[in-house]
Structure 1
Amino acid sequence: MTQFATLSTGPTIAYDDVGQGLPLVLGHGFLLDSSIFSGQAGSLSDRYRVITWHARGHGATEYDGRPFSLWDNARDLIALLDALGIDRAVIGGHSMGGFVALSAALLAPRRIAGLVLINTTPYGQEQYSAGKQQAFADAWQTTGPTRELCQLFGQGMFGGGRLEPWTEKWMKQTPAQCAHPFRAVAERDDLSPRLPEITAPALVVHGSGDAGISVAQTRQWASALPHASPPVVIDGAPHASCATHPEEVTAAIDRFLSALPSA
């Protein structure tokens, strides 16, 4: 059941909180919500406390509607830990959510017991991909989230998986609803020079079928994290591997958590 916490940073965050034990806090990718982690929450909650949350501009979270950055989302994540009385947690997420977790690890390293990074990147927006994504965002905000645009976005995210539930969610949004989240993602900083500062143990999971981020890129940046093993590559998984290949992703997370000193 979704719960709500009004944070010191401003927004009223929607989140789900199941299980007991070592806290694992996961954030979703752009235009998604916490339901992409339903497979992980269902399988891990008998051993861990799994918290999944909705970022500003997404899902059921309420905020003031003003522009924000992914650093603001990272501060929200830390404030959520405060609101839930959690001193240290394993944090992570998918895509945008993984970037936010890396940012939070830079802001509050003492709070981070580990990182779970799924189909994400620490890099800023490349000029080529920025142009393509701007054209998509312009179309979404001009014509609204049409079925064709939703299918295009969903194919990139989920590959050949079931898109209809997500298409129905997206088509209920107003044309302007993605504007601030898109700006936050498009204008994100490049965190890659600061990766050596992040000393928490880290799990990197990547789908080999991700059309936007290659396995080679992921191996390159993961090697800069002082305490990350080589990435776990999920064969054939698209960008949203946690949703399309939940068993494989969950197994990798379970192995990682069970090996942590605090597990």
Structure 2
Amino acid sequence: MTTPHGQVVHYVDHGGEGPPVLLLHSYLMDSDMFAPQVQALGGQFRLITMDERGHGRTPLNGPFDFWDVAKDALSLLEHLEIQRASVVGVSQGGFIAMRMALLSPEKIATLAVLGSSAEAEDPEVAHAYRQAADLWQAEGPQEELLDGTAAICLGDMDASEWKAKWRALPGQHIKCINNVLIDRDDIVQRLAEIKCPTLVLHGTKDAAYPVANAELIAARIPKAAPVVIVEGGEHFLSLTHPEAVNPVLAEHLYATV
């Protein structure tokens, strides 16, 4: 699909007769990270996955921010003639999902935000990420760098499949998508504008954002339920702990569509 602004967006409509649900992946990932959800929930919902700008099979078209990606996602719903959908976002996908709800609240039936944050990146963390991207650009995807990235995102999970994908990414590409991540704006003061029912999940072993970030989202969105804590859940907990995530996710989606 090509958006009205000329951005090519790769997506997969997994079909099904159930209510439509758009799944938005994390930084450095792609639609494949939702394989556990497609397998477990595909018979109950019409699941749609999309590769965000600069990820998977969706290319970069110059500078962008997460508001632009939110507009891409809304254009995809329009392309598929979906008037209203639920949106599930993990980490970066959560940034985008919340911005979708701010841009077009009438199109969002419900949100589920996993391992995410509404705040701008912590300056110290942003500095470390910027240094890592500079190193990647200068020296390529060194194994130590890949291992560190995998540890933050996936914990002890076997990350060999994902590291193989990361090795193929040029340093300048990494620097671009990394800058979008760490330079994002703070939307905490706007969370009260999100009116749809919202589920917030967070893992106790999330190495990127503390549980307090999730609690802030749940406290500020009027129809958000208390945070669901996934014991042992890593940052990308929908992939690392689907057995804990999927039942809660299905219950929320059924209750709010």
TM-score norm. by structure 1 comes to 0.94
Q: Look up the SS of the partner of 1:178 in the other structure.
A: helix
What is residue 73 of structure 1 aligned with on the other side?
Answer: 69
1:86 to 82, 85, 97: 82
Residue 92 (structure 1) shift: 2.5
What is residue 153 of structure 1 aligned with on the other side?
Answer: 149
Within 2, Cα distance between the matches of 1:9 and 1:133?
A: 30
1:20 to 17, 22, 36: 17
What is residue 198 of structure 2 aligned with on the other side?
Answer: 202
The answer to whether the Cα contact below 8 Å between 1:9 and 1:75 also exists between their aligned partners in 2 is: no
The residue correspondences of 1:1-263 to structure 2 (distance < 5 A) are 5-18=1-14, 19-64=16-61, 66-260=62-256, 262=257
CA deviations on 1:62-90 (whole Å, 9 max, x unpaired) are 342x1111110011011111111111000
AA at the equivalent of 2:39: G
Residue 114 (structure 1) shift: 0.3
AA at the equivalent of 1:103: R
Within 1, Cα distance between the matches of 2:218 and 2:135?
A: 34
Residue 102 (structure 1) shift: 0.4
Within 2, Cα distance between the matches of 1:152 and 1:126?
A: 18
Residue 131 (structure 1) shift: 1.0
Q: Look up the SS of the partner of 2:47 in the other structure.
A: strand
Within 2, Cα distance between the matches of 1:56 and 1:220?
A: 27
Within 2, Cα distance between the matches of 1:239 and 1:49?
A: 25
Within 1, Cα distance between the matches of 2:6 and 2:238?
A: 29
Superposed CA RMSD? 1.1
AA at the equivalent of 1:236: G
Within 2, Cα distance between the matches of 1:147 and 1:240?
A: 20
AA at the equivalent of 1:13: V
Q: Look up the SS of the partner of 2:26 in the other structure.
A: coil
User: Matched residue pairs, number?
Assistant: 256
The answer to whether the Cα contact below 8 Å between 1:9 and 1:79 also exists between their aligned partners in 2 is: no
Fraction of identical pairs, as percent: 36
AA at the equivalent of 1:191: I
The answer to whether the Cα contact below 8 Å between 2:116 and 2:213 also exists between their aligned partners in 1 is: no
Q: Look up the SS of the partner of 2:23 in the other structure.
A: strand
TM-score norm. by structure 2 comes to 0.97
Within 1, Cα distance between the matches of 2:192 and 2:72?
A: 23
